[in-house]
Amino acid sequence: MASDKMKAKYLNPFTDFGFKKIFGEEASKPLLIDFLNALLPTANKIVDLTFKNNEQLGQTDLDRKAIYDIYCENEKGEKFIVELQKAKQNYFKERTIYYSTFPIREQAEKGEWNYNLKSVYCIGILDFTFDDYETESEKSEVVHTIKLKNQNGKTFYDKLTFIYLEMPNFERTETELETRLDKWLYFIKHLEDFQTIPTIIADDVFNQAFEKAELAKFGQTELANYENSLKIYRDLKGVIDTAFDEGKLEGKLETAKSFKKLGVPIETIIEATGLTKEEIERL
């Protein structure tokens, strides 16, 4: 990684700003479609996407909201939540399952309705690894695909899919890239380190992605927003990873206090600690 962030030619895609710049803008739609098609089975090929409101409200004002990094719908009405998860947190799996209920529930139609739902995909790009695997082979896997299955391992319901990408486990070198997904994971993991575009991923889509990620093309405001996002990413990751390493994450209040001192946004503190807005404001 570049020793000085200003020496980097391209942005860090694990920052909120960087992730949305590459995948979450209207002009980025071809990149997001290409990435999702690399991740999904060929039979589920996406032709077009429409971005939807990434802030989902509960049924009452008191209900907790769901704020997605990216929320979109394809031409068949299937829903896609794409989340970047920078650091470990309590109840991470529970949060993604809770988030999946919103695109399910919003499909309800008034009056007579037969409950025929469109597929929902929840995709998490993780800058950490899970700790609850039982075998060595599981620990090294990059892509984890989860569906509802019965006691015999047969899929009970195939329209709800969770896909987690554990980026630290992706260790393929440039010469080992075989699939389109390999190339996307290589791009995401190493983008901040590149000084030139690797030949193996130099096609129209990736050239567009590199162009969007080039810091020299940013105006002053965009660059300031990115640098702030980069600082938050580094501070957040440092505090949470240290807390996990030292077994301190149960000290949620202390963790939240550290975040507040660092100027981490309150929504991020809520996600990382599970505390309420009121509890955090009282610190």
For residues 101-123, average pLDDT: 89
Residue indicated by tokens 């020793």? 3
- Claim to verify: residue 28 and residue 38 sit in the same structural domain: yes
| Tokens coding 203 | 């096609």
- Claim to verify: residue 229 and residue 202 sit in the same structural domain: no
- Claim to verify: residue 211 and residue 234 sit in the same structural domain: no
Write down which residue in 217, 249, 270 finishes a domain. 217
- Claim to verify: residue 112 and residue 223 sit in the same structural domain: no
| Tokens coding 214 | 């080039």
Give the number of domains in the chain.
2
Q: Which domain holds residue 27?
A: 5-217
pLDDT digit string (tens) for 46-84?
A: 999 999 887 766 555 545 566 788 999 999 999 999 999
pLDDT of 204 > 50? The answer is yes
Beta carbons within 8 Å of 128's beta carbon, 6+ residues apart: 85, 86, 87, 88, 166, 168, 241
Q: How many CB atoms lie within 10 A of CB 260?
A: 14
Exposure b/e, 197-232, CB count within 10 A at least 16 = b: beeebeeebbebbbebbebeebeeeebebbbebbeb
Exposure b/e, 119-141, CB count within 10 A at least 16 = b: bbbbbbbbbbbbeeeeeeeeeeb
For residues 274-278, average pLDDT: 78
- Claim to verify: residue 141 and residue 66 sit in the same structural domain: yes
CA angle 118, 122, 128 (to 5 degrees): 170
- Claim to verify: residue 264 and residue 187 sit in the same structural domain: no
d(CA 10, CA 187): 11
| Average pLDDT for the chain | 86
pLDDT digit string (tens) for 9-44?
A: 999 999 999 999 999 999 999 999 999 999 998 888
- Claim to verify: residue 136 and residue 251 sit in the same structural domain: no
- Claim to verify: residue 242 and residue 210 sit in the same structural domain: no
The amino acid present at 259, given as its one-letter code, is: F
d(CA 248, CA 268): 18
- Claim to verify: residue 224 and residue 211 sit in the same structural domain: no
d(CA 67, CA 57): 9
Tell me what percent of the chain is helix, strand and coil, each rounded to the nearest 5: 45, 15, 35
- Claim to verify: residue 139 and residue 255 sit in the same structural domain: no
- Claim to verify: residue 183 and residue 245 sit in the same structural domain: no
d(CA 184, CA 125): 12
H/E stretch holding 210 reads: helix 204-213
Residue indicated by tokens 């984890």? 144
Write down which residue in 175, 193, 217 finishes a domain. 217
Beta carbons within 8 Å of 177's beta carbon, 6+ residues apart: 183, 186, 200, 201
- Claim to verify: residue 252 and residue 143 sit in the same structural domain: no
> What confidence score (pLDDT) does residue 64 get?
56
Model's pTM, two decimal places? 0.83
Write down which residue in 190, 217, 244 finishes a domain. 217
